[in-house]
Chains A and B, each alone.
Chain A
Amino acid sequence: MTLELQDIYKSFPAESGGEVLEVLGGISAGLERGRFVSLIGPSGCGKTTLLRIIAGLEPASRGRVLLGGQPLSGPSRRVGLVFQQYALMPWRTTLGNIEMGLEMAGQGREERRAAAREYVEAFGLAGFENSYPHQLSGGMQQRVAIARTLILQPELVLMDEPFGSLDSQTRNALQEFLLSVWRQRQDTIVFVTHNVDEAVFLSDEVLVLSRRPARVVARFSVEAPRPRDRTSRASNQVRREILSVLKEQQEQVGLV
């Protein structure tokens, strides 16, 4: 197991008189190296919170995160995080953003420039090396953000609805692109989405979370062979199963 989540709880303190908000209610899961795993669940159920805990940006109220058998505490270069809103430094160019992590790691200027240029090429950003983020399209900004994370060769890559604010064509193109990158590198990826089609198209496995306080309510393997056809029978089958679990979640709420 590369990543182990051991019984993770998280609650946020009450805001002036309100009740304590229980967000995660005991999440346990193991993840093998080189797997592409999606997390799916109703919005507001705590997916972002879980990723932030794994990334070390937020402490868990209870439970542990193990990476390669060692407990994680605090942000670390071993775990990369790709944000939905790209979170690029507006004052850095494409190259400057991509090389930022190498800079923090103390790598020399020439060396990291060369490494960043390779990513610029591979990520289809040639010609935009010296552009600032606001001069790039959303799809390009997200490619810069992914490059910035992957260049550090993290043991675990977390992605929080990275394509959530893109139009559907760009989104499809970036899904294909991400898969082609992943096929070559075999990164271990935890990918948060609330889009079932996206989860099924990308992942080896899909974990379905319940509503708050979130727990893992189902785990699906997507066996459809790669490269995948979005409309194949195998895909449709898993999609149907996932949707029915999600629907159950909705209905339970309806009864309360």
Chain B
Amino acid sequence: MKMLRRWWLPLAILLAWQGLCSLEVFPPYKLPSPLAILAGLVDLEARGMPPGQRLHWHLFYSLLRVAIGFTSAALIAVPLGLLLGASSSLRRLISPLIELLRPVPPLAWIPISILWFGIGLPSAGFIIFLGAFFPIVLNTITGVTSVSPVLVEAALTLGASRREVVKKVLLPGALPNIFTGLRIGLGIGWMTLVAAEFTGVKSGYGLGYMIMTARDIQRPEAIMAGMVVIGLTGLLIDGLVRLLQRRLVPWQRSRANDA
């Protein structure tokens, strides 16, 4: 019942869409019906696109690229953000560099990254790395600088070393922002991936590559089924990070529950 209240609008749109397609208001080669897309989805897995290359392998390779790019971004960006957040002199030194690089859209790096790394996993990984890196670093810095200096002083009077201040005050204090950064970074990474695969993968596997293949052979229901997979996977990944966030930032959750 609650589900219905929340999802009735998308459901209604799906029904109307199906109805209009059944009445042939839209030509099926432009806008396939929801049922046709569902059939396309089943076909992507059963037969593959191109035939023999099945959906779950496309999904697997896309996830692998994101995992590699995102993980390396997080492993560098979080410690760097902590360092820059903790030291204002370092921040003054590095910030202009970050500000200069940040406005370059990750996709604008595709040509140069293909030149550097060739076509394939490394260049796709690099693009995703770039997409995820900046939101993570900037949110981590914000998180650290928003930690109340009184908490740092309290830790110092309790005998904390500088290292312990970073580990036991700045890191946990910045954690809510770090998670925001990770979620944004992962979202951008995922979006960047598909675009990177449009151009960066000429054969093999990947959801972006799969969609481009479907376009080349004029299969709109397969294109849209691919879009559905991309959307749902993105939603799922974000849900997983949120779950992790709730486990690792329990003091924030209980605050939300109190409110």
Interface residues of A (CB under 8 A from B): 52, 55-57, 75-77, 79-81, 83, 85, 87-92, 100-101, 103-105, 132, 134-135, 148-149, 152
Nearest CB of chain A from residue B4's CB, rounded to whole Å: 35
From B151, B153, B157, B249, give the contact of A89 (CB < 8 A). Answer: B151
When chains A and B are docked, how far (Å) is the Cα of A188 from the Cα of B17? 78
When chains A and B are docked, how far (Å) is the Cα of A216 from the Cα of B74? 54
Q: Are A132 and B157 in contact (CB under 8 A)?
A: no
* 3 nearest A-B pairs in the assembled complex, by CB-CB distance: A101-B158, A87-B154, A77-B159
When A57-B153, A134-B255 are in contact, do A104 and B173 touch as well, CB less than 8 Å?
no
When chains A and B are docked, how far (Å) is the Cα of A59 from the Cα of B155? 18
When chains A and B are docked, how far (Å) is the Cα of A80 from the Cα of B251? 26
From B153, B158, B175, B254, give the contact of A100 (CB < 8 A). Answer: B158
When chains A and B are docked, how far (Å) is the Cα of A105 from the Cα of B160? 8
From A80, A91, A105, give the contact of B157 (CB < 8 A). Answer: A80
Q: Are A89 and B258 in contact (CB under 8 A)?
A: no
Q: Does B98 contact A (CB under 8 A)?
A: no
When chains A and B are docked, how far (Å) is the Cα of A80 from the Cα of B172? 23
When chains A and B are docked, how far (Å) is the Cα of A83 from the Cα of B254? 25
For A57, what are the chain B residues with a Cβ–Cβ distance below 8 Å? 153, 156-157
Q: How many A-B residue pairs have CB under 8 A?
A: 73
For B169, what are the chain A residues with a Cβ–Cβ distance below 8 Å? 89
Q: Are B254 and A132 in contact (CB under 8 A)?
A: yes
Interface residues of B (CB under 8 A from A): 148, 150-151, 153-161, 164, 168-169, 172-173, 175, 249-251, 254-255, 258
Q: Are A76 and B159 in contact (CB under 8 A)?
A: yes
Scoring B148, B154, B251, B255 by chain A CB atoms within 10 A of each residue's CB, the highest score goes to B154
Q: Are A83 and B150 in contact (CB under 8 A)?
A: yes
Residue on B with the closest CB to A58? Answer: B153
Q: Are A135 and B159 in contact (CB under 8 A)?
A: no
Scoring A56, A89, A105, A152 by chain B CB atoms within 10 A of each residue's CB, the highest score goes to A89
Scoring A56, A80, A91 by chain B CB atoms within 10 A of each residue's CB, the highest score goes to A91
When chains A and B are docked, how far (Å) is the Cα of A135 from the Cα of B251? 10
For B175, what are the chain A residues with a Cβ–Cβ distance below 8 Å? 91
Q: Are A104 and B158 in contact (CB under 8 A)?
A: yes
Nearest CB of chain A from residue B148's CB, rounded to whole Å: 8
Nearest CB of chain B from residue A197's CB, rounded to whole Å: 27
